[in-house]
Each structure stands twice: as structure tokens, then as C-alpha cells.
Amino acid sequence: MIPAGAVRDFRHEALFYTGLDQFLDNVVPFIREGLDREERILIVVDSAKIDALQQELGSDAHEVHFADMTGVGRNPARLIPAWRRFIDSQPHPRPLRGVGEPIWADRSPAELVEAQAHETLLNVAFGGTPDLKLLCPYNIGALGPEVVAEARRSHPILVAHDGREMHSETYLHEHPSPARLDEPLPLPPIDATVFSFDSEAGALSVVRGIVWQFAVRAGLNRFGVDSLTVAVNEIATNSVRFGGGKGTLRLWTQDGSVICEVTDAGHIAGSSLIGRTLPPVEQTDGRGLWLANQLCDLVQIRSAPGGTAVRLHVRGDHE
């Protein structure tokens, strides 16, 4: 059992539940405990659960911040910046707690891996942050056992549906999860559009033109087309600047999304939070991956000494 008491260090807990009733049975007391302690609270779950929670909380719901996970967390890489904004936005320091459910049954395989990476990276991003408690619900009735096993590795504290808390025996702070930067991506389809580019003047303009045309023909809306074009330009620019001066662009469609992959010979050796931390306004570079994460519905980065692949996804219903 975990001793109760005031939150001191960052606590990252996984709640294993089945069905809405068990979700509410655990999350509502978690929220009420925070309200009793006058903590700031942010809940990031889907809209149906937000409605249910607001109904259960009644007028107390006005004291709680809510955000729709299917919007904020569509790209899981946007979640750490969202939590960071919540932490930084409070005028006076006081304990914070949150509920975030970034993994659900309908997540695509690619999204699931990135959401699992997000869960691991929370430990890196907020480790050492005092008075912050995050509860991550997992609907184990709808998720596979391998997803639950991964949750045990990424959360130091586990909460059963009856409220019992325990330390995870398989927890690893920054473990080699399926989304590590050196884990290869599935191969692109053989009929993907391929274009090689280099640092010649005008090459990036051609890259943008190819992406733009492909995205328009694939039926993306205006924002989707522009978002993908900007994001690809930034990644291709990184190839030109840091990836050996050249790269390869591949484009294809899959399940209603346009996917664009940029590969080069470079190696991203920086922080595992790269692309999740906004550089200060005075900093001259480092905005490309941030923009890609903010503009695209999913970004997959895989890097090893032999090369880097960045895969950008924009969905047909891009907002």
C-alpha cells in the first residue's frame, strides 16, 4: 500500500478500470480529494466522460478544468506541452492534480505506440516536479494485455478498480518502450511517392510543391494541406542542415490520412523531449519539431546513428 498524505513529489499513477461506472467510482473521489485540498485540477478525457464527470460533480465541476482528450491528445506529443501550460498558468503556486486518458481502444497502432511513449516521457518531463499528481485511467476491459503490461512499465504506481494502490514491480523510469527513438517504423508501402532532395537552391520549394499537390489530391482540407506542407518543410530543412545535406521524401495515404516520411543520414541525439519543449523566444532554432507536433495529427520520430526517419500524419478530418 502507498501511504496517504499530502502530495510532495510527482506521482504518476495508472488506474485499471472496466466500464464507465468503475471509471467514475475512482475518478470522482480523486477529483473531490483534490477539491478538498484546494488543488488545481485538469481532467483530459473524452467528451462522454467529461459529461459524466460534470454530472457527478454537480456545481463543483466549475472548480475543475476540463479538456477533450480526442482534441488535445489527438497527437499524443501535444499532451506534455498542455500539462506544462497548465502548470505554468497558475498565478500562485499550489498543488496540482490531473486525470489524463491518452490510450483508448480505438487508437490506431501507430497512435498507440506514440501514446505509450507519451506515458513514459511524462516521467522524464515532470520527474522532480513537486505537488503534481497525474492519474491515467486504462479501460482494461477494452485494451489488450500487452497495453496493460506497458502501462505497468510506465507508471510507478498502479491503482486497482477498488482503489487499492501498489507500486509497479515492472516500472522503469525511462525504459526501452516500443516508441524509443531507435525503434524502426513499419516499412512504407512499395507504391509510395518518392522524391530525393538536397541543399540545392529551390529544392525545399520543390519538396513543398510535391507535398502540397499530394495532400490536395488526397482530399485534405486547406488547413491540413498547409499544416503538412509547413511540417514537412521543417523536417526536410533539418535533413539539409543536420542530416547530411540531403534526404528522401515518401508520401502515401492510409486509413484516410496522408502520411509523409522524411529520412536522412543524421542522428537526433538530443533530449527525449525534443519536439515537446517550446524553445524560448530568444532561441534561434529548435522550432521545427515543435511545429510539426503542433500542426500534425501524429509525428513518429525514429533516430539511430545510421539515420533518422520522421513520419508525419495528417488526417482527413484535420482541424
Partner 1 sequence: MCWVVSSSEQFEGRADRYLEEGALTGQKLFRVIARGHAVEAGGGSEVTLIDPMELAPTEDRVVAPEVLYATFRQIAARAREEGFSGVRVLADMRWVLAHPLIRSDLAAFELRLDEVVTELHATVVCLYRQGDHPARDLAETVAVHPLVGGQPPADRGLRIWNVDRGTWEVAGEIDESNVDAFERAMSAIMAAGPVRRLRCGGLRFISAAGIRVLTEIGMARPDQTLVIQNASPILRRCWATLELDEDLPQVGFEPAAGEEVAG
- Note the residues at the interface with partner 1 (CB under 8 A): 201-205, 208, 222-223, 226-227, 229-230, 233-234, 237, 240-241, 278, 281-282, 284-285, 287-288, 290-291, 294-295
Q: How far is the CB of 284 from partner 1 (least distance, A)?
A: 6
Q: Please, what is the minimum distance in Å from the beta carbon of residue 206 to partner 1? A: 11
**291 within 8 A of 234, measured Cβ to Cβ:** yes
CA distance 171 to 122: 13
66: Cβ contacts below 8 Å, ≥ 6 apart: 42, 43, 44, 50, 53, 54
- Minimum CB separation of residue 266 from partner 1 in Å reads 15
Nearer to partner 1 by Cβ, of 27 and 228: the residue is 228
Residue at 126: amino acid letter: F
Lookup result for grid cell 522524411? 262
CB of 294 to partner 1, least distance (A): 4
Q: Tell me the C-alpha distance between 316 and 255, whole Å.
A: 9
Compute the C-alpha angle 253/205/297, nearest 5°: 35
Cross-strand pairs, 159: 15, 165
**Three-state secondary-structure class, residue 148:** helix
Judged by CB, which is closer to partner 1: 120, or 229?
Answer: 229
The CB-of-317 to partner 1 minimum distance in angstroms stands at: 17
- 156 vs 224, which CB is nearer to partner 1? 224
Nearer to partner 1, 81 or 188 (CB): 81
Q: Which is nearer to partner 1, 54 or 248 (CB)?
A: 248
